[in-house]
Structure 1
Amino acid sequence: MSELVERVDERDEMLAVVDRGEAIRHRWLHRIATIVCRDPGGRIFVHRRPDDVSLFPGQLNWMVGGAVGVAESYEEAAARELAEELGVHARPRFVLKFLCEGAISPYWLGLHETVVTEPVRPDPGEVAWHDWLAEPELMDLVRHQTFVPDAREAFDRYRGQLRRTEDL
Structure 2
Amino acid sequence: MSEMIAVYDAHGREIGSQERSVVYAQGLWHASAGVLVRSEDGKRVFVHKRTDTKAVFAGMHDCLAGGVLGPGEDPAEAAIRELGEELGIVTGPRDERPLPLTGASWDGEWAGRPMRCHLFAYELRYDGPIRLQAEEIVAGWWWTDEELLSHLENPTWPFVPDTRVLIPDLLR
Both structures adopt the same fold (TM-score exceeding 0.5): yes
Moved over 4 A (4+): none
The structure with more strand, counted as a fraction of residues: 2
Corresponding residue for 1:49? 50
* 2:79 equivalent in structure 1: 78
- How many angstroms apart in 2 are the aligned matches of 1:151 and 1:16? 24
- Structure with higher helix content: 1
TM-score (norm 2): 0.86
CA contact (8 A) 2:16 2:71 kept: no
* Deviation of 1:73 (Å): 0.6
Offset, 1:62: 1.0
Match of 1:109 in 2: 119
RMSD of aligned C-alpha atoms? 1.5
Say yes or no: does 1:16 pair with 2:16.
yes
TM-score, with structure 1 as normaliser: 0.88
Whole-angstrom distance in 2 between the partners of 1:150 and 1:13: 19
Percent of paired sites with the same residue: 29
Alignment of 1:86-125 (within 5 A): 86-90=87-91, 91-104=97-110, 105-125=115-135
Deviations 1:110-155 (A, max 9, x none): 0111012320001011111111001100111122222122222121
Greater shift in the superposed pair: 62-71 or 94-103: 94-103
User: What's the CA shift for 1:19?
Assistant: 1.1
What is the correspondence of 1:136-151 to structure 2 with a 5 Å cutoff?
Answer: 136-144=146-154, 145-151=157-163
Q: CA deviation at 1:57?
A: 2.3
Quote the residue 2:145 is aligned against. Answer: 135
- Assess if the C-alpha contact under 8 Å between 1:5 and 1:67 holds in 2: yes
| Structure 2: runs of 5+ lacking an equivalent | 92-96
Tell me, what secondary structure is at the counterpart of 1:101? strand
Deviates more, 1:138-147 or 1:71-80: 138-147
Is the 8 Å Cα contact of residues 103 and 150 (structure 1) preserved in structure 2?
A: no
Contact 2:38 2:124 in 1 (8 A): yes
Task: Give the Cα–Cα distance (whole angstroms) in 2 for the partners of residues 55 and 5 of structure 1.
Answer: 14
Distance 1:55 1:7 in 2: 17
- Where does the alignment leave 5 or more consecutive residues of structure 1 unmatched? 163-168
Q: 1:35 corresponds to which letter in structure 2?
A: V
Q: Is the 1:23–1:29 Cα contact (8 Å) retained in structure 2?
A: yes
CA displacement at 1:157 relative to structure 2: 3.6
Equivalent position SS for 1:55: coil
Give 1:61 shift.
0.9
SS in 2 for 1:106: strand
Count of residues paired in the alignment: 160
Cα distance in 1 for partners of 2:68, 2:138 equals: 20
Which residue does 1:2 correspond to in 2? Answer: 2
